[in-house]
A and B are shown apart, each in its own frame.
Chain A
Amino acid sequence: NAGVTQTPKFQVLKTGQSMTLQCAQDMNHEYMSWYRQDPGMGLRLIHYSVGAGITDQGEVPNGYNVSRSTTEDFPLRLLSAAPSQTSVYFCASSYSTVGNYGYTFGSGTRLTVV
């Protein structure tokens, strides 16, 4: 199993550009989520999904869109990049939507918006 795969690992965008961060898992996890990590602020939830076709907003959803057309994939779209979106982005998945299982994280995407 590859686990949770994120691409790209690094990205530089200009203000106003759009892009999609990819996340795929091969563990048949129902639950997937996106977090951003900023210094001193921990991991903050952007969007999450409890299964294919179902998504919901987290703590900091503005400026981001998600979709979940398959169990395996959960892409994160930046609609119009802003310097405030400079961050490290982590995708995470877990086995159960209602169970108490820890997350498996992807390796992260370091995004810089200039």
Chain B
Amino acid sequence: GENVEQHPSTLSVQEGDSAVIKCTYSDSASNYFPWYKQELGKRPQLIIDIRSNVGEKKDQRIAVTLNKTAKHFSLHITETQPEDSAVYFCAARGLTGGGNKLTFGTGTQLKVEL
């Protein structure tokens, strides 16, 4: 099945700096890559996603890039703010098995310091 690795596990940045989180996946047939943000004690929430036929997608201060050849994708957050502090999860949808099954990375704790 699909395997997703996520780095770093913790990331501390100064307010206003950029943050980058990287993920790799194992199933070359995977075709959908969402990112989730989870604030302390809350549920994960979808913040951005990308499909395998697209190389980059932006939404205001966040962007995701996908390199299918290298089987990795990244989340970029620019002009970070304290409210960006949270755990971020990447995920990949492999095509083995059935349904809309997502495999998640182990998460990155992002801390934005004032």
Contact of A97 among B49, B89, B99 (CB under 8 A): B99
Residue pair A102, B97 in contact (C-beta under 8 Å): no
Residues of chain B touching chain A, judged by Cβ–Cβ distance below 8 Å, are: 1, 6, 9, 31-32, 34, 36, 42-46, 49, 51, 89, 93, 97-107
Mark out the residues of chain A between 6 and 65 whose CB falls within 8 Å of any chain B CB in the assembled complex.
Answer: 31, 33, 35, 40-45, 48-50, 56, 58-59
Residues of chain B within 8 A of A44, CB atoms compared:
104
A56, chain B: closest CB distance, angstroms = 6
A56 in contact with B100 (CB, 8 Å): no
Nearest 7 CB-CB pairs, A to B? A100-B32, A102-B46, A42-B106, A105-B43, A43-B104, A50-B99, A42-B104
Interface size class of A (residues with CB under 8 A): 20 to 34
CA distance A23 to B39 in the complex (A): 21
B43 engages A42 (CB within 8 Å) = no
Chain A, residues 67-101, CB within 8 Å of chain B (1/0): the string is 00000000000000000000000100010111111
Complex Cα–Cα for A59 and B3 (A): 11
Decide if A90 touches B101 in the complex (CB within 8 Å).
no
Q: Contact at A97–B100, with CB atoms within 8 Å?
A: yes
Q: List 27 A-B contacts (CB under 8 A).
A: A31-B100, A33-B99, A42-B6, A42-B105, A43-B44, A43-B89, A43-B104, A44-B104, A45-B102, A49-B99, A50-B98, A56-B97, A56-B98, A58-B101, A59-B1, A90-B44, A97-B100, A98-B99, A98-B100, A100-B31, A100-B51, A100-B100, A103-B100, A105-B45, A106-B43, A107-B42, A107-B43
Interface centre among B32, B44, B97, B107 (most CB of A within 10 A): B44
In the complex, what distance in Å separates the CA atom of A56 from the CA atom of B102?
14
CB distance from A71 to the nearest CB of B (A): 14
Closest CB-CB distance, A9 to chain B, in whole Å?
Answer: 11
Given contacts A31-B100, A33-B99, 12 further A-B contacts (CB under 8 A): A33-B101, A35-B104, A42-B107, A45-B103, A49-B99, A99-B100, A100-B31, A100-B49, A101-B100, A102-B34, A103-B34, A105-B45
